[in-house]
Amino acid sequence: MKNVLFTGSWRYIRADIEHDVRADVARVMADGHRIVAGGALGVDQWAMDTAFQMDPTAHRLSIVLPTTFDIYAAHLRRRVVEGVTTSDRVEPLIDLITRVQAVRPSAIINGPADICNTETYYARNTVMNNMADMAYAYHVNDTAGTADQIDKARAKGIPVTVRTYRVLPLPLPVGEG
């Protein structure tokens, strides 16, 4: 069983990206592998949701967070108040992680940070890459966080499948995840 990292942008939502992520996760899971995701909106959320649907025991799912889940959930809700994202995106993600945690607490890998920022997200990326045997990256509009994951995976020498997309920005302010 291989650990397969799924990574990509949280800012952009488009049906074809979601379809690609879910199809790739389904194929990887059908091959008997484990999914590693970063707990973010968008690509990570679709990967986690598909993996959890296919394995409701969550034995083949690892969710790596930059902080504890409580701090992370508070951060996501604060981003709603700041106008960076919306509660209809955030609350289903928090619910999904809560359900995974209830079934298999060890599926949630809490990071040591006490805040979420670029530095702690990139540190989380390193943890995810250290776990991974291969990676799928959904690189939307050349986002820096996904580029970081791709670079780290390539430097490690693991196979990386990169899917590239161009998407018009959401009508929300852009900020840290």
pLDDT, tens digit, 9 for 90 and up, residues 102-119: 999 999 999 999 999 999
Kindly state whether residue 171 falls inside one of the protein's structural domains.
no
Structural domains in the chain (count): 1
Kindly state whether residue 28 falls inside one of the protein's structural domains.
yes
Determine the structural domain holding residue 37 and report its residue range.
3-165
How does the average pLDDT of the chain come out, rounded? Answer: 92
Kindly indicate the confidence band of residue 14, based on its pLDDT and cuts at 50, 70 and 90.
confident
pLDDT, tens digit, 9 for 90 and up, residues 41-72: 999 999 999 999 999 999 999 999 999 999 99
Kindly state whether residue 170 falls inside one of the protein's structural domains.
no
Question: What is the predicted pLDDT for the residue at 169?
Answer: 63
Q: What is the 3-state secondary structure (H, E, C) of the chain?
A: CCEEEEEECCCCCCHHHHHHHHHHHHHHHHCCCEEEECCCCCHHHHHHHHHHHHCCCCCCEEEECCCCHHHHHHHHHHHHHCCCCCHHHHHHHHHHHHHHHHHCHHHEECCCCCCCCHHHHHHHHHHHHHHCCEEEEEEECCCHHHHHHHHHHHHHCCCEEEEEECCCCCCCCCCCC
Kindly state whether residue 173 falls inside one of the protein's structural domains.
no
Kindly state whether residue 174 falls inside one of the protein's structural domains.
no
Query: What CATH number does residue 134 fall under?
Result: 3.40.50.450
pLDDT, tens digit, 9 for 90 and up, residues 124-166: 999 999 999 999 999 988 888 899 999 999 999 999 999 999 8
Kindly state whether residue 19 falls inside one of the protein's structural domains.
yes
